[in-house]
Amino acid sequence: MPANHSRVLCTSTLLAAAGLALVAPGRAADADAFPVFESYIKVTGQAPFISGNGAAYQTRARQSDAGGGGIEDLHIARDLNKTTSVVVDGRALAGVEDYLGRINLSKTEVGSVDAGYKRFRTFYDGIGGFFPINGYWRPLVQQDLHTDRGRFWAEAKINLPDRPVITLRYQNETRSGTKDSTSWGDSNSTGLPLVPANNATRKIIPAYLKLGERHEILQGRIEQNVGKTAVSLTVLGDWVKNLDTRYFTRYAGEVLPNPERVNYESNGVRSNEFAAIATTETPLSEKITFNTGLSYQHITTAVSGERPTAIGVLPTFDFRDLVGGSKVDDFTGNLSLGLHPKNWLVQLTVRGEENYTKSAGTYNKVTGTVAVPVTTVVNENSRVKDHIVTPDLSARYTGFNHLVLYTSISDRLDRGDRRRTDPFTTALPALSSLENENVRQDQAHYTVGANWNQSTAMVLRGELFYKDHENKFIGYANELGGRYVVGYQFTGVKLTAILKPVPEWSFTTRYVPQTGYMEVTTESTKRFDSMTAKSHLIGETVDWNPNPRIYVQGNLNVAFNYISTAYPAAQTPLTIAPQRNSDNNYVVESLVSGFVVDKSTDIQLLFTHQHAHNFQPEIATGTQPYGAGYTETTGTVGVKRKLSAKWLATAKVGYIDSRNETTGGRTNFRGPLAYVSFEHEL
């Protein structure tokens, strides 16, 4: 979506940059200045002073715009006696709401107990879309959204000499809170003419999800050697209980031609799973290893929910009182042979899977008026069978000096059958409601590559990959001619060169070009191509280490990506909406440097800049422009100081400036940042 597209491109860069700002690589020759504590506590505080859109900052930086602090890391390791040790880890950071408590107790030749609880917050925003023709932008009243994820676990392992290793683990995960949804509401407030019908309508009104989710796993595992064969058996139960509700508004603030409707859609899912997994590994000789695996899964699910379509106008529902579910039985087995002749490592694997899924459901569809509502009971059902075989071959050859060659080939072959009904309101579905199709999927992946370590001054790596997928869904019986075929092919290369002409300089160059296209046909139309995609990813890293006290690293990453549309071949403004190819080009630059001031002090400098200019507001008269357009710059200065043999201190100050074209500047933010930490040996 326009407001959030840039986060996909650059969140990882911000996090990586934050980590680099605390590192002084040039101190390798003077490591005694900063000891590594075996047990310690680290207390931190961070404070952003942001002007602009705080919710956008929180989503981008993954931390509260109000700041926070607390215990960033607590680690205590103690030997209770010669055979028993305990490790305690903790974290308690307010603001980002990141908490951890963990204890591990282990005894040599007896086993271990590990238990803990972890909770952390993820920030989202309720921004939605922006329409550039008239500058219309209507975010949620409460833009600040967040979800909290929690995980409790307890694991006990018994590892007695010459006895089976037994592990029992329980895990309970939860997710609650609110997050943005990509299913936006529609609006006519775009300034465009209402004629023809729906000409002015764009889906740009933000929506959000209220989450209530729980996932529990109880797992037991036993491992034992039987002769030369290592055998393991895992049995688990898996339970999911989710109830999520999506809230969205249609035609916000409007009266004609469509009145405002505040809607919701609730979706409940419950599932119970039993699974058993057995594996073996047998060395047949010094050069041959044989592996097997077998698993069975039985899953039952139940769904519930409702979706009103006209809250406040009519008591109408797309679906209400939804009741349904599925039953799944899945058998999977694999055989693998590892061959290790001189200079070779070859792995031959065949994997087979049998899957049978049967589903049914019923719901009420409500139409009519307030005085005379009409309720219709609607039924649906389906059945899916898949017979999947996946052969896989990988090989590596190391017989040449400084050169390693490798290749891999895999092909997933699915021969299945699917049947389903269109929604029906009678006791039995009509013949015209039945849909049948044979499934024929062939998904092949090929890779070949080489690593050449010519010397410490030059390392070259190259890899060629090819993906060829064909997915046929061919109708039969009464549905002959109603299905389609879709396939795609992608070819790419990964090239890396590492050059060290002198010890002080290192250059790492990466180039990844890729091209591919998709084919779509139906049984009644000719083949046509769509979504031809091309990408070029170029990266360069330069390291300069003139002496043990100074380190400088520069990074440049450039991406040229596009997916073709009917433009420009079908660009006829009189008959179709304006079009453009889908572009996703961006540039990311960074510079980090570390200086050793003295035996107790380091200084770190960091600068990052990134931008994308793919936003094309001129096509908004016929469609919603989704290309990203943003510019972001950050800079930080950090000082790390050894206060004493048991105390370390770190302080950082920085500045961030983020500008977003895709929201018309409404989500811009900027301001100084501050961070301080104290680490103490325990």
Instruction: Give the tens place of pLDDT for each residue, 626-652.
Output: 889 999 999 999 999 999 999 999 999
Which residue type sits at 637? V
Where the chain has pLDDT below 70, the residues are 1-33, 310-314, 478-483, 522-531, 566-578
Is residue 256 one of the residues assigned to a domain?
no
DSSP 8-state secondary structure symbol assigned to residue 127: -
- Spatial contact of 267 and 244, defined as CB atoms under 8 Å apart: yes
Q: Which of 351, 355, 354 is nearest to 390 (CA)?
A: 351
Helix then strand then coil, in percent of the chain rounded to 5, is 5, 70, 25
Is residue 328 one of the residues assigned to a domain?
yes
Q: Which residue has the tokens 């103490």?
A: 680
Is residue 391 one of the residues assigned to a domain?
yes
Residue 505 half-sphere exposure toward CB, CA atoms < 13 A: 4
Residue 605 tokens, joined: 């400098």
Q: What's the pLDDT score for residue 313? A: 55
Is residue 484 one of the residues assigned to a domain?
yes
d(CA 429, CA 379): 9
d(CA 429, CA 584): 46
d(CA 76, CA 536): 47
- Spatial contact of 648 and 642, defined as CB atoms under 8 Å apart: yes
Residue 664 tokens, joined: 């018309």
CATH of the domain at 286: 2.40.170
Q: Which residue has the tokens 């050859």?
A: 397
Is residue 257 one of the residues assigned to a domain?
no
Q: Which of 495, 576, 592, 603 is nearest to 17 (CA)?
A: 592
Which residue type sits at 89? D
Beta strands in 309-402, from DSSP E residues, in sequence order: 317-339, 344-368, 373-400
Phi, psi of 291, rounded to the nearest 5 degrees: -125, 145
- Spatial contact of 593 and 608, defined as CB atoms under 8 Å apart: no
Q: What's the pLDDT score for residue 28? A: 41
Q: Which residue has the tokens 């069975």?
A: 296
DSSP 8-state secondary structure symbol assigned to residue 371: S
Instruction: Give the tens place of pLDDT for each residue, 149-179.
Output: 999 999 999 999 999 999 999 999 999 999 9
Is residue 225 one of the residues assigned to a domain?
no
Taking each continuous run of H as one helix and of E as one strand, the counts in the chain are 2, 30
- Spatial contact of 541 and 524, defined as CB atoms under 8 Å apart: no
Q: Which of 115, 125, 168, 122 is nearest to 145 (CA)?
A: 125
Query: How many separate domains does the chain show?
Result: 1
Q: What one-character-per-residue DSSP string does 498-527 give? A: EE-SSTTEEEEEEEEEEEEEEEEEETTEEE
Domain that holds residue 440: 5-220+231-251+265-681
- Spatial contact of 270 and 302, defined as CB atoms under 8 Å apart: yes
Q: What's the pLDDT score for residue 517? A: 85
Q: What's the pLDDT score for residue 368? A: 82
Is residue 183 one of the residues assigned to a domain?
yes
Q: What's the pLDDT score for residue 525? A: 59
Residue 165 tokens, joined: 């290793």
